[in-house]
Amino acid sequence: MKKKFVTLFLTAALAVSMITGCGGDEAEPAAAAGTETEEPAEEVEEEAEEETADSSSSTGDFSLLDVDENMVDVGAYGTDSDGIELVFTMFTGPDSNKYVSLFGFDNNNNNGYVICGQYESSTEKDEDGDEWTYFDVSDVYSGQHFNLGVFERPETEQIAFFDKEGNVVEGKFLTNAETINYMGSAVALLSGDADTDSSDSASDVKYVDGFYANNGSGDDFMIFFYESSDGDVAYVNDGTTEAFAEYTVEKAQLDDGTEYLVVTVGNVQLGYYEEGDDIYMISEDGDVYAAGRLSEEEAEALHSVVTEQ
């Protein structure tokens, strides 16, 4: 099984379509970051230092799921000393305001935190002469202020940012599409209540159907469908990347004329069709694999096994 780039929590993502993001306040408060920071040692992109936003202005009412690839300015991924996956983002919201966010995913305990808000920025050089941009962010979920920092050297693909406690994390740049997938993960986390164990969440979301296939080379393909009074969502895993959010379905055809349905979640796509009692799944490259239908218990068990690989 290839290492998947996007980590999602199925149990936490039960109310994904009703959670408001940077423009709302329905999630539990995220803890504010400490003001003490380790001394940074890298440089920040010049464009970032000029971006400021009045933290007291209206944020509008939108979800992180409303942010698309064209709105992302910077995305970075790293892990801290405890193995917590961290994603730092700068983006322009649907309300045209600038936002900074930090997502923390604790895969061992199936929880984490989401911090997001408008900011005021400043720049400083460290003792090595590297220039950092510091953000005083007004968190929309807690109403508190926290400090973040980032440096960028796109020409050498170097980036570092602060974790929630202000410690420096060496990271790598994300593509805009990868950043959007992580935002979907953050919404899933919010729906399970930020900074709390996702097993405490409750929802009316119901498992509808699910399919699974393997290409014989260690790649797992999965599509799980869920429905609720607030909208339908799907979990899709294409063998390298997974996503869980609202989805679209389109018709397509194989070279032999066989029609099938393409399920798209974020930038992850998988197809499937049924022929009598037989089920087949189609990769984005058009490869066809025999598949099986899964019960809810089988889907949850399979997802747990795959995410541990």
pLDDT digits (tens, 9 = 90+) for 12-21: 333 333 334 4
SS3 (DSSP) at 133: strand
- Are 170 and 218 in a shared domain? no
Residues 221 and 168 in one domain: no
Amino acid identity of residue 60, one-letter, is: G
Domain termination residue (choose one: 183, 199, 215): 199
Global pTM? 0.51
Identify whether residues 169 and 276 lie together within a single domain: no
Q: Is residue 91 a contact partner of residue 78, using CB atoms and an 8 Å limit?
A: no
Give domain status of residue 36, yes or no: yes
* 138 and 287 housed in the same domain: no
Where are the extended beta strands (E) located within 71-166?
72-79, 85-92, 98-106, 111-125, 131-139, 145-153, 158-162
* Structural domains counted in the chain: 2
Same domain, 97 and 217: no
pLDDT of 133-183, one tens digit each?
999 998 887 778 889 999 998 888 899 999 888 899 999 999 998 898 888
The CA distances from residue 35 to 101, 121, 123, 156, 199, in Å, are 16, 15, 16, 29, 31
* Owning domain of residue 85: 16-199
Please check whether residue 8 lies inside any domain of the structure.
no
H or E stretch at 301: helix 296-307
Residue 1 located in a structural domain: no
Residues 165-176 as b/e (b if ≥16 CB within 10 A, e otherwise) read: ebebbebeebeb
* DSSP structure class, residue 27: S
Q: Is residue 120 domain-shared with residue 226, that is, in the same domain? A: no
